[in-house]
Structure 1
Amino acid sequence: MNVDHEVKLLIEEIKRLGSPGADGNVCVTFGTLFADDKCANIFEALVGTLRAAKRKKVITYEGELLLQGVHDNVNITLLKDDL
């Protein structure tokens, strides 16, 4: 799969699993994304897709690398819903 396609899929999953934050942007925790069965089936490398989306300024989150367990409560915020 190409990166842009995976980022578009990620946007849809964040919208599906997340909820609007105080600023109106949709937020979801890393743990929620990581534990979701549908996301597990879609994304072979969820962390890589998240990093690509962050580089494209589609999402934002604290830190560089998210690890399951350690960063389950880190909020991922959707900044825009298209590329």
Structure 2
Amino acid sequence: MKKPDARIYQLACEQLNTPAEACLYVGDGASRELTGAMQVGMQAVLLRLPAEEQTARRPQAEFWSGSALSFLHEVLTFLS
């Protein structure tokens, strides 16, 4: 299994004993991971990388219109 296969997200939820709806998935936009997480019910957030690190291997990062953050510590703003 690999991203964006729904089974990998579902396995993570099972291992955490947490429903997908209670999970926050943070990723850099590679491998369609963000839409994969959303398809199983997770909230997906793009971690924007510095411009010099953006590559063609992260196509979602360029076109992502959902939630995003620039620094990992900002993830705390998404927790309730």
Length-normalised TM-score, structure 1: 0.36
Length-normalised TM-score, structure 2: 0.37
Greater helix fraction, Structure 1 or Structure 2: 2
